[in-house]
Amino acid sequence: MGIKVNGKIIVENYRNEIKAVISEGTSKGLRVPSIKTILVGDDGGSLSYVKSQNNLCDKLGVSYSCTHLDKDASERDIIELIEKFNEDSSVDGIILQLPLPKKYNEKEITSKISYKKDIDGLTDKNMGRFYKGENCFIPCTALGVIEMIKNTGCVIKGKHAVVLGRSNIVGKPAAQLLLNEDATVTICHSKTLNLKEICKTADIIVAAIGKPGFVTSDFIKEGAVVIDVGTTMINDKIAGDVNFYDVINHASYVTPVPGGTGLMTTTMLIKNACEAWRNNVY
C-alpha cells in the first residue's frame, strides 16, 4: 500500500513564505500584490480554479479580482481587457484562464499579455526563456508537479519519468523541469503506441491528459511515484486522471484529486505573482 501525498501539509511552508514576503513589503509602506484574472465562458474546471485562486489570495493578503466574460465575447473584448491591465501599474499579475472556448485563437490572445505580468508563464517570451534556461515565469502546475515529487523524498536524478500529456500548460513544461532535474523523460499522448508498457517502466508518472480514472494499476511499476494533474468536473466534483484507490496499492506515493497538485498550482501562482510584484514596486 502506497502513501497518499497530503498537499495541504506541503503547501503550508510555501504559503508562510509568501505571507512573510508580503508582510515585509507592507511594513515598508508598499501596497499588496495585485492579480487580475480573465475568465471566458463557463468551463467547470476553470470555474473551480478561479474560486480557489480567490480563496487563497484572501488568505494570503493578495488583492484579487476576476472579470468573467460571456462565451460570446469577441477576441477584441478580451485583448482590450488584457491591454488595460498591461498598462495599469497597480496590476502585478494577469491570468488568462485556459482553456478558452475553441472558437478563440488562444495563442494570439495569450501573446498580448505583458511578459512581466505573465505569472502563468504562457507568453512566447517567458516560454522561450524557460526552454533556454533563462530567468522567467514558469507555468505554475509544472512547478507544482516538481515540488510534489521532491516532497515525497524521491530523488529525480537518473529516474525514468513518463509524462502523459503534451500541453504547453502542463505536459511540456513538466517534462522540461524533469529534464532539468536529470531525469530521463518520455512524453506520451493520444497517438502513443504501447502506452501501458511504457508507463510500467516509469519510476515517476505525471498524468495530465484530462481523462478521469484513465491511469489504473496495470499502468504502474511497483513503487512508482504517481502525480495526478487531472481536473475534470463530473457531477459538480473534480476527478483526476488516476484511479486513486486502484493505483495506491502498487505505487509508493500518489497525489489525490482534490487535495494534491491543485493546491500546489495555486500556491505557485501566488508565488509568481509576488515575484512580479517585487519586480514592479521595489
Whole-number Å distance between alpha carbons of 216 and 274: 38
Any domain includes 17: no
Any domain includes 228: yes
Number of domains making up the chain:
2
Cis status of the peptide bond prior to 173, with omega within 30 of 0 = no
Chain mean pLDDT for the chain: 95
Clarify whether residues 181 and 239 are in a common domain: yes
Q: Is 153 annotated as a binding residue?
A: no
Q: Is 165 annotated as a binding residue?
A: yes
C-beta separation of 130 from 138 below 8 A: yes
> Residue 1: pLDDT band by 50, 70, 90 thresholds?
confident
Clarify whether residues 169 and 236 are in a common domain: yes
C-beta separation of 156 from 181 below 8 A: yes
What pLDDT does 43 receive? Answer: 82
Any domain includes 188: yes
What pLDDT does 236 receive? Answer: 83
C-beta separation of 98 from 56 below 8 A: no
pLDDT exceeds cutoff 80 at 45: no
pLDDT exceeds cutoff 90 at 260: yes
Rounded to whole angstroms, what are the CA distances from 12 to 6, 135, 226, 245?
Answer: 11, 25, 21, 25
What pLDDT does 233 receive? Answer: 84
Read off the pLDDT of residues 122-164 as tens digits, 9 standing for 90 and up.
999 999 999 999 999 999 999 999 999 999 999 999 999 999 9
Any domain includes 125: no
pLDDT exceeds cutoff 90 at 47: no
Whole-number Å distance between alpha carbons of 260 and 5: 7
- Comparing CA positions, the residue from 99, 80, 95, 111 lying closest to residue 41 is 99
Clarify whether residues 89 and 146 are in a common domain: no
What pLDDT does 171 receive? Answer: 97
Whole-number Å distance between alpha carbons of 220 and 248: 10
Q: Any idea what the CATH number is for the domain that residue 67 is in?
A: 3.40.50.10860
What pLDDT does 94 receive? Answer: 98
> Residue 282: pLDDT band by 50, 70, 90 thresholds?
confident
What pLDDT does 92 receive? Answer: 98
> Residue 99: pLDDT band by 50, 70, 90 thresholds?
confident
Rounded to whole angstroms, what are the CA distances from 149 to 124, 128, 205, 264?
Answer: 27, 25, 10, 11
> Residue 38: pLDDT band by 50, 70, 90 thresholds?
very high
Any domain includes 133: no
Clarify whether residues 113 and 144 are in a common domain: no
Clarify whether residues 47 and 79 are in a common domain: yes
Read off the pLDDT of residues 101-118 as tens digits, 9 standing for 90 and up.
989 999 999 999 999 999
Clarify whether residues 176 and 247 are in a common domain: yes
> Residue 4: pLDDT band by 50, 70, 90 thresholds?
very high
Residues 6+ apart with CB under 8 A from 278: 21, 25
Report the pLDDT averaged over residues 61-84: 96
Q: What is the DSSP letter of 31?
A: P
Three-state SS across 254-279?
ECCCCCCHHHHHHHHHHHHHHHHHHH
- Comparing CA positions, the residue from 220, 226, 231 lying closest to residue 99 is 231
Q: Following CA atoms 45, 51, 56, 57 in sequence, which dihedral angle do they give, to the nearest 10 degrees?
A: 120
Q: Which domain holds residue 97?
A: 31-117
**What SS3 state is found at 140?**
helix
Clarify whether residues 242 and 155 are in a common domain: yes
Q: Is 259 annotated as a binding residue?
A: no
Any domain includes 89: yes
What pTM did the predictor assign? Answer: 0.91
Any domain includes 22: no
Q: Any idea what the CATH number is for the domain that residue 253 is in?
A: 3.40.50.720
Report the pLDDT averaged over residues 37-44: 91
Q: How would you label 174-205 residue by residue, b for 16+ Cβ within 10 Å and e otherwise?
A: bbbbbeebebebbbbeeeeeebeebbbebbbb
pLDDT exceeds cutoff 80 at 26: yes
What pLDDT does 252 receive? Answer: 98
C-beta separation of 222 from 250 below 8 A: yes
Report the pLDDT averaged over residues 40-57: 90
Kindly calculate the radius of gyration of the chain based on its CA atoms and give it in whole angstroms: 19
What pLDDT does 224 receive? Answer: 98
Rounded to whole angstroms, what are the CA distances from 277 to 30, 35, 73, 95, 123?
Answer: 10, 9, 30, 14, 18
pLDDT exceeds cutoff 90 at 12: yes
Q: Is 223 annotated as a binding residue?
A: no
55-64, 97-106, 217-226: segment of lowest average pLDDT: 97-106
Whole-number Å distance between alpha carbons of 108 and 104: 9
